[in-house]
Amino acid sequence: MSDVKHYRDGSTNVVVTAVDIFPCNQDPCRLVKGTSVTIRIRFRSIASIIAGDARFEGSFGGRPVLLPFAPNGVCRRLNPPCPILPGRFYVYSYTDVIPQELRSGLLNVRWKLLNASGVEFLCVDFSIQIVEDS
């Protein structure tokens, strides 16, 4: 597990305290197609939030790409579980396999957690390096 050292927090109503990626031993993380990756976002809430879904977007060199991941809601990936209460610390964790069809290169990721109305309350940007299996 490695802390992502360079990330941008554009959140409202929460403060992101860390972004971790496993496996990772450098920044940006080198992630191999066809292998499992876990992304953990640690944050402190400063408001009561009714959580909804998650979204993530990606771009290679400023060109948007579809990231074929299925977030399946925030609450099932949150520890401690919902509801999100002010002053508490939470960890959002997502595990999936890096798709083989994803292009290799430096991928800029924007990860968003949305409330029940579809408005983002957490937004973090970071970069990862997608590589072929060697």
CATH code of the domain in which 60 resides: 2.60.40.770
Q: Is the pLDDT of residue 134 over 80?
A: no
Q: What is the tally of structural domains in the chain?
A: 1
CA distance 113 to 76: 12
Range of the domain at 9: 2-131
Choose between 8 and 55: higher pLDDT.
55
Place of tokens 């971790």: 20
Residue 12: the pLDDT is: 85
Residue 70: the pLDDT is: 66
